Structure 1
Amino acid sequence: MKTTGKIQKNAQKKAPHPNSRKALKLAGAKIREERLLLKEDRKADQIAARIEMFKWFQDEMRERLADLKDFTKADAQEFFTKYLHRFDDELNQTMETNQTLKRRQTGSKLARINALLSKERQLISSTGLDGPNLFNFKSLEDWLSWDGEFDSMPRLKTKKWTLQALDINSASDL
């Protein structure tokens, strides 16, 4: 039986009959290509979100942590609380803008931020949110020297941070 590549080549010369097996095979191949492209885009979005999250962690560690060896649980709580509230200024500004213009804005960016925050809160409440192992000095040195590339991400040591690991009673305390 001919492969889809051969069928596509022949279809350029002469179109197959709409009800033929060749036409069905071409339609199936086209649907499969679209599905694979969609899957590729979804994977790229997940990787970009992970890189963005890791860059935030890196920037915050560079900015706030002078002495990496003396890190306590209270510091870890503060670190992840700040991470979960990183969009608060932007959300408040959007709400104020909506109130002054006396309209309701339902932008995709606002929806994306809310979805991301709810997902992260759900993760930290259940299985855990990936983050740097703040109690391992060598791991933090790797985080600080990370170049921001996807290819070098596997050498970063992460830890699943949950509410129990941070000694927080509920997600509403964050």
Structure 2
Amino acid sequence: MEQEKSVGVALVHLVSSALWPLVALLAIFMFKPYVETFLTAASSQVQKASKFKVGQVDITVSENALPKAPLRVGKIIPQMDNELMEYVLTTDPSGTHLNCYEGGATTTPSELADDGVLTRLQAMHMLTVTKLPKNYKDDSGQRCEGAVKVDYDQLFGETRTYYFDVLKQMKFSESK
């Protein structure tokens, strides 16, 4: 009788040790949607941050805080080098800009050369450059030997706004 009892106990232990993994798997599959929702919510709360040092300044950028670039801007930005980016950031695109230069029609200012900033931005459909007649006189009475009128397209403004939105998400602190 005692031997039957120990065989029974051994059988119960065998079944329970083989059964618990099945019960655990069943529970995981039953609660899978809830577990996924929890893990997704938890992971969105954890922000990936990159920190780098420039001179005496630490700069931290949170990947989750960065704005998503509008489609057209996202296609333009990879084409922009430092010179174009600086021009976009430092130029107010409101209104029409008149650029006067010396030499009239016989010289071309560097920004209008084939590889110049205005020429490249015009090729990217970010602005329109119109050459004005020699000795052009603007509204204020200023006479220009040579001049161009620059009208900024909507894409220029959108790109500029996006650059500033990215910069606003950066956190700057003194390096220790």
Q: Name the TM-score class by shorter chain.
A: under 0.3
Tell which structure's C-alpha radius of gyration is larger: 2
Higher strand share: 2
Q: TM-score, normalised by structure 1?
A: 0.24
Q: Larger RCO: Structure 1 or Structure 2 (Cα < 8 Å, ≥ 6 residues apart)?
A: 2
Q: TM-score, normalised by structure 2?
A: 0.24
Higher helix share: 1
